């Protein structure tokens, strides 16, 4: 498996030199400075690639080419947006970027209600999704029409009690935390813009959304094949409905439909153990085993879930995901690929997110992407991978 690191470009508080010091060989990045709705020029891609290589690293994964809302809605602008996506994909392929991670989440990207939650074991500050707080925002702060109908009445009552006890500052902080996961984040989105985006999805259900995703895949997967790119769709985060929007990359049956839509290893998955793991009925070991041949990228992090759907991001080797068994499934798949001369490189993975530790808590960081917490996570995963790999070598010698 190839160790990689998410890097947000020159504006990232963490430098490429620090990435190299962490021990990662690959970089996961995108051209975040280019606005949505614009194909990435070939020369801009090559400049970014040269910058990464000058630091002694490799641009292993592009995460992500922006996915315009029109594609997800399947509206009249979708063909032009898909054409722009394909142009960017082709330019990445010509530049030699081998893997592209993308998502198909409508309106919201990752969503959390607390970006600095003190963990119970005292291991720093974590990202947390608190279901009651989210419902309080949806119904009583955003005041989405009909929102109360989407939740259990007892949950609505608890959310109302929380909302009524919130100060104006509390409500603002909650809103900013939720907005942080939207495209553009707090710098672009407002309550009015969120409402407008939600309204644009009226009448679009899961079946329609899945059909739009499949139509997109049938357009872009052949381009990925032509240019030697391995696609990996990222799951919904969290993997259940938010704001009444459809979610179509949340469960194993969703994955089966995606893979069947275009039967090629170039149409693959990003196995995000934290996102899929936030749904208690998802068996990550079973998913890693069943879909191993189509896993083109992995985000390795752990979550601890609660009965009402709340969860927090735990230490990388703790929580509800059996990380040791997931890693073993991925290493076994790498051995299979090696044996059959599969053209795909080693499965790239990154330590996904990390707690705020030490003086990172008072530094400028992207939520979930502090330095020390991810170095800690990468070190834990590195040790697990090496130990598991050694065990598999011994197993092969004895067979």
Give the bridge partners for 237, in sequence order.
none
Q: Which of 351, 297, 292 is nearest to 97 (CA)?
A: 297
Span 103-116, average pLDDT: 94
Domains of the chain: 2-106+207-398 (3.20.20.150), 114-199 (no CATH)
| Reported confidence tier of residue 121, pLDDT bands at 50, 70, 90 | confident
Terminal CA-CA length for the chain: 23
Could you give the C-alpha distances from 301 to 231, 358, 378, in angstroms and in order? 20, 20, 10
Share of the chain above pLDDT 90, in %: 91
355 is catalytic: no
369 is catalytic: yes
Rounded distance, CA 397 to CA 159, Å?
58
pLDDT given for residue 123 in this prediction: 76
352 is catalytic: yes
Check 102, 137, 369, 371 and give the catalytic one.
Answer: 369
pLDDT given for residue 189 in this prediction: 72
Check 266, 299, 316, 355 and give the catalytic one.
Answer: 299
* Mean pLDDT value across the chain: 95
* 102: pLDDT strictly greater than 60: yes
The SS3 of residue 217 is helix
Check 234, 266, 316, 355 and give the catalytic one.
Answer: 234
Q: What is the pTM of this model?
A: 0.95
pLDDT given for residue 187 in this prediction: 56
Could you give the C-alpha distances from 310 to 92, 108, 161, 304, 317, in angstroms and in order? 37, 17, 17, 9, 19
Please give the structure tokens belonging to residue 90: 């082709």
pLDDT tens digit string along 362-380? 999 999 999 999 999 999 9
Check 266, 316, 353, 355 and give the catalytic one.
Answer: 353
Residue with tokens 């990996």: 232
371 is catalytic: no
75 is catalytic: no
pLDDT tens digit string along 162-205? 999 999 999 999 999 998 766 655 556 778 888 999 999 999 99
Q: Are 287 and 276 in contact (CB under 8 A)?
A: yes
Rounded distance, CA 84 to CA 45, Å?
15
Check 227, 272, 316, 322 and give the catalytic one.
Answer: 272
Check 352, 355, 360, 371 and give the catalytic one.
Answer: 352
Rounded distance, CA 308 to CA 320, Å?
15
101 is catalytic: no
Rounded distance, CA 299 to CA 233, Å?
11
Q: Which of 235, 215, 273, 254 is nearest to 64 (CA)?
A: 235
pLDDT tens digit string along 252-299? 999 999 999 999 999 999 999 999 999 999 999 999 999 999 999 999
Q: Are 194 and 244 in contact (CB under 8 A)?
A: no
Degrees, nearest 5: CA angle 198-32-57: 140
Q: Where are the alpha helices (DSSP H) in 39-145?
A: 42-54, 69-73, 78-95, 131-136
């Amino acid at each position: 498996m190839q160790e990689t690191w998410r890097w947000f470009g020159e504006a990232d508080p963490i430098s490429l030199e620090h990435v190299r010091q962490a021990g990662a060989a690959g970089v996961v990045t995108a051209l975040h400075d280019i606005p949505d709705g614009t194909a990435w020029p070939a020369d801009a891609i090559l400049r970014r690639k040269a910058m990464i290589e000058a630091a002694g690293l490799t641009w292993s994964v592009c995460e992500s080419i922006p996915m315009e809302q029109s594609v997800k809605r399947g509206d009249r602008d979708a063909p032009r947006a898909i054409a722009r996506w394909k142009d960017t994909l082709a330019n990445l392929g010509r530049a030699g970027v081998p893997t592209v991670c993308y998502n198909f989440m409508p309106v919201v990207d990752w969503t959390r209600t607390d970006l600095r939650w003190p963990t119970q074991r005292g291991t720093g500050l974590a990202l947390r999704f608190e279901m009651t707080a989210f419902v309080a925002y949806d119904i009583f702060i955003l005041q989405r029409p009909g929102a109360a109908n989407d939740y259990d009445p007892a949950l609505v009552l608890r959310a109302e009690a929380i909302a009524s006890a919130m100060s104006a500052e509390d409500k603002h902080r909650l809103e900013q935390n939720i907005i942080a996961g939207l495209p553009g984040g707090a710098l672009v989105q407002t309550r009015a813009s969120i409402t407008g985006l939600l309204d644009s999805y009226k009448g679009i259900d899961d079946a329609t959304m899945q059909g739009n995703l499949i139509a997109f895949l049938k357009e872009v997967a052949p381009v990925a094949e032509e240019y030697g790119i391995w696609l990996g769709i990222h799951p919904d985060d969290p993997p259940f409905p938010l704001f009444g929007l459809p979610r179509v990359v949340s469960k194993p049956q969703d994955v089966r439909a995606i893979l069947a839509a275009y039967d090629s290893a170039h149409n693959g998955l990003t196995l995000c153990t934290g996102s899929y793991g936030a749904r208690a009925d998802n068996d990550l070991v079973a998913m890693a085993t069943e879909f191993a041949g189509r896993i083109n990228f992995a985000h390795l992090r752990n979550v601890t879930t609660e009965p009402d759907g709340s969860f927090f991001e735990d230490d990388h080797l703790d929580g509800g995901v059996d990380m040791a068994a997931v890693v073993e499934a991925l290493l076994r798949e790498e051995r299979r690929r090696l044996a059959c001369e599969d053209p795909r490189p080693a499965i790239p993975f990154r330590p996904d997110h990390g707690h705020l530790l030490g003086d990172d808590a008072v530094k400028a960081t992207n939520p979930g992407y502090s330095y020390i917490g991810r170095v800690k996570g990468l070190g834990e995963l590195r040790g697990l991978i090496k130990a598991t790999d050694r065990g598999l070598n011994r197993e092969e010698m004895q067979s």
